[in-house]
Amino acid sequence: MNKIKLLFFATIRDRAGAKSMEMDIPEDLTIQALKEKLSADYPYLKDSMKSVLITINREYAFDETVVPPHAEIGMFPPVSGG
């Protein structure tokens, strides 16, 4: 198993009710699979997972990216500018 730290920001933090959490995930889990796992395990995050922006160790990551061991995963709602 791979232990990761999830950091929640803005409205995702509000829905999660916490700034962060630690989680054990299978090795070779992709970002897409992580979002699906979070949606299934924490239904109140399901809507957020549809449009969340993800960082791994402070660099943007895509759905097909494999989560490395002991990663810090940031989860941000979409941002719009003016």
Question: pLDDT digits over 24-49, tens only?
Answer: 999 999 999 999 999 999 999 999 99
Supply the pLDDT for residue 78: 87
Supply the pLDDT for residue 79: 76
- Band the pLDDT of 80: cuts 50, 70, 90: low
Supply the pLDDT for residue 81: 60
Q: Phi and psi for 34 in degrees, rounded to 5?
A: -65, -45
* Nearest CA-CA partner of 21 in 39, 2, 7, 37: 7
Q: What is the pTM of this model?
A: 0.92
d(CA 52, CA 50): 6
In CATH, the architecture of 2-76 is Roll (3.10)
- For the chain, the average pLDDT equals 94
Q: Is 63 exposed, middle or buried, given 0-12, 13-18 or 19+ CB atoms closer than 10 A?
A: exposed
Cβ atoms 12, 75 nearer than 8 A: yes
The strand order across the sheet containing 53-56 reads 20-25, 2-8, 72-76, 53-56, 59-61
